[in-house]
A and B are shown apart, each in its own frame.
Chain A
Amino acid sequence: MASHDFLENDRERSEYQNFTFCICILNCFTMSQKFFSQKRVKLIVTLAVCGLLIFFNPKGFFTPVRWVFSRVSYPFQKTFYLLSGEIRSGADFLGSISELKNENKNLIKENDRLSFEITLLKDEKNENEKLRDQLKLAPREKFQLEASFVIGQDLQRSESWLLIDKGANAGIKTGMPVIVSDGILVGKISEVYSNTAKVILLTDSGSVINAVDVETEAKGVIQGEYGLGTIFDLVAQTDIINKDDTIATSGLGGDFPRGLLIGKVQDTRLTADKLFQQAIVLPRVKYSKLDVVFVIKN
């Protein structure tokens, strides 16, 4: 026997059903009101909007916001970076004897210069007259360089970048190579703002550059490994790569001039599919210690 059989006619029965339905709706409403408190609504809405932004990742959409942010933050970032550089220098100074430090600094500079010269000389020796003429474009004095300070960095994540204090106002454009000392490649410009620019480092996971083994002429590409280092990849099985070989830009593709030093081969191996050879390349510079870099504008 149903619970509402005591009701005498259809009209009463229907009214009873409507009443119970209303009670149910009211209960649900009260429960949902408890669950959807103002705090939870704020949380859910914010997370949903962020979730959509993350998933669809509209990179260009926020470019104007980044422009404004870079304009506002630029003077502060520069001040903070220079200040922290001073603090670091002070700490270094206290940690070592000043003469030794200066001597070491000069020796590192000299070493970098000599390494680059050796790279060029070895390359010149292996190339014919025509290629040597091309190589003459590589020396630093032939480049139109824009010196700039590093004002921000993030080297630990998959995107390894530096922020420099020169941007569109100084003629910087996307894709321009960035070097230090006497032609040691650091990365390339990836985003340009009015007074600042983002430099994607060689160690960035998205960085791919045509390169050559200066000693053996083996050609391949230098790829970043999530901020950890660089890999000389896609080298044909027939080519030779040796430990301590010097890797430089090959100039193929026209994005980078030929002969910019990248680093030294640390170890070699075959790819997982055994079609190509790979080599772990140790970069010539410590990116975390960079203060001044040069953008090649021509």
Chain B
Amino acid sequence: MPKNILICFLIFFAVLLQVSFFPNIVPGHFFPDLALIIILFWTIENGFEETWKWAVLAGLLVDLANFWSVGTNVFSFVFTAYVINSFAKRFLVTQTVFRFLILAAFIILGTVINGILVILAAKIANKETLDFGPLFFNADIFFKIFCNLGTFLLIYAPLMKLKKISRTLDSRLKSFA
């Protein structure tokens, strides 16, 4: 329970930072998808089974905070988490040396998948004609990759710390039970 509350707060504040903090300080409007990065990290570390509900929550909050049609970011977050989880199982199990680099590669992949899905879903929601060219050759996604990667480098250590805290909380709860 305390772990769930902790993650809820983390996602909530990540979304608010994304909407009300980064746009004001990051030049060029290419601010990081903090909520997405956290969800991807959590998926890679704990698996899709445990993370999908947080992906739904994060997507819902992003939709509400950004005035998107509800479902747009939920769809992209859940699908991206699923795909990244499938890849993580294959590539990350045996790797310990290049673990960080592989994590960074997953963040890039997740950013691309999420970027494409969000544009696609927004076009469907707004009943616009689907043009697949801009989905794959989109400068915004290119800049987002750098932005998200930079943010991931900055928050990797705090996220690892948080992971340890949540594990400690879990083990304490188990000892009480």
Known: A39-B49, A288-B29. A83 touches B71 (CB 8 A): no
Bound-complex Cα distance A163 to B21 (A): 12
B114 at the interface (CB under 8 A from A): no
Measured between beta carbons, the chain A residues less than 8 angstroms from B64 are 62, 65-66, 69
Contact between B67 and A288 (Cβ–Cβ < 8 Å)? no
Contact between A69 and B49 (Cβ–Cβ < 8 Å)? no
Bound-complex Cα distance A151 to B21 (A): 9
Measured between beta carbons, the chain B residues less than 8 angstroms from A51 are 71, 75
Interface positions, chain A 63-116, Cβ under 8 Å from B, are 65-66, 69, 73, 76-78, 80-81, 83-85, 87-88, 91
A53 at the interface (CB under 8 A from B): yes
Known: A39-B49, A54-B121. A155 touches B23 (CB 8 A): yes
Bound-complex Cα distance A53 to B64 (A): 14
Measured between beta carbons, the chain B residues less than 8 angstroms from A163 are 19-20
Known: A69-B65, A161-B67. A81 touches B124 (CB 8 A): no
Bound-complex Cα distance A105 to B151 (A): 32
B76-113 CB contact bits vs A (8 Å, 1 = yes)?
00110010000000000000000000000000000000
Bound-complex Cα distance A287 to B71 (A): 28
B70 at the interface (CB under 8 A from A): yes
Contact between B20 and A38 (Cβ–Cβ < 8 Å)? no
The chain B residue with its CB closest to the CB of A160 is B29
Stretch at the interface among A25-33, A42-50, A173-181, A235-243: A42-50
Contact between A53 and B23 (Cβ–Cβ < 8 Å)? no
Contact of A50 among B13, B29, B71, B140 (CB under 8 A): B71
Known: A39-B48, A53-B70. A80 touches B61 (CB 8 A): no
Contact between B67 and A159 (Cβ–Cβ < 8 Å)? yes
B16 at the interface (CB under 8 A from A): yes
Most A-side CB within 10 Å, residue of B29, B59, B66: B29
Contact between B24 and A84 (Cβ–Cβ < 8 Å)? yes
Known: A84-B22, A153-B24, A156-B29. A73 touches B65 (CB 8 A): yes
Measured between beta carbons, the chain B residues less than 8 angstroms from A38 are 49
Number of B positions contacting A (CB below 8 A): 38
Measured between beta carbons, the chain B residues less than 8 angstroms from A77 are 16, 19-20
Contact between B20 and A62 (Cβ–Cβ < 8 Å)? no
Contact between B69 and A157 (Cβ–Cβ < 8 Å)? no
Measured between beta carbons, the chain A residues less than 8 angstroms from B21 are 80-81, 83-84
Bound-complex Cα distance A151 to B24 (A): 9
Known: A62-B64, A69-B65. A49 touches B71 (CB 8 A): yes
A198 at the interface (CB under 8 A from B): yes
B25 at the interface (CB under 8 A from A): yes
Bound-complex Cα distance A191 to B65 (A): 13
Q: How many A-B pairs fall under 8 Å by CB?
A: 115
Interface positions, chain B 1-34, Cβ under 8 Å from A, are 12-13, 16-17, 19-25, 29-30
A59 at the interface (CB under 8 A from B): yes
* Cβ distance A150 to chain B, nearest Cβ, rounded Å: 8
Contact between A54 and B75 (Cβ–Cβ < 8 Å)? yes
Measured between beta carbons, the chain B residues less than 8 angstroms from A152 are 19-20, 23, 65
Contact between B25 and A84 (Cβ–Cβ < 8 Å)? yes
Query: Which A residues contact B (CB, under 8 angstroms)?
Result: 38-39, 42-43, 46-47, 49-55, 57, 59, 61-62, 65-66, 69, 73, 76-78, 80-81, 83-85, 87-88, 91, 151-159, 161, 163, 191, 198, 288
Query: Which B residues contact A (CB, under 8 angstroms)?
Result: 12-13, 16-17, 19-25, 29-30, 48-49, 52, 56, 59, 61, 64-67, 69-72, 74-75, 78-79, 82, 121-122, 124-126, 140
A-B contact pairs, 28 of them (CB 8 A): A39-B48, A47-B79, A49-B71, A50-B71, A51-B71, A53-B70, A54-B72, A57-B125, A69-B61, A73-B12, A73-B16, A77-B16, A78-B20, A80-B16, A80-B17, A80-B21, A84-B23, A84-B25, A91-B25, A152-B23, A153-B19, A153-B24, A154-B19, A155-B29, A158-B122, A158-B126, A163-B19, A288-B24
A-B CB proximity, top 9 nearest = A53-B71, A50-B75, A84-B24, A50-B71, A80-B20, A156-B29, A77-B20, A80-B21, A69-B64
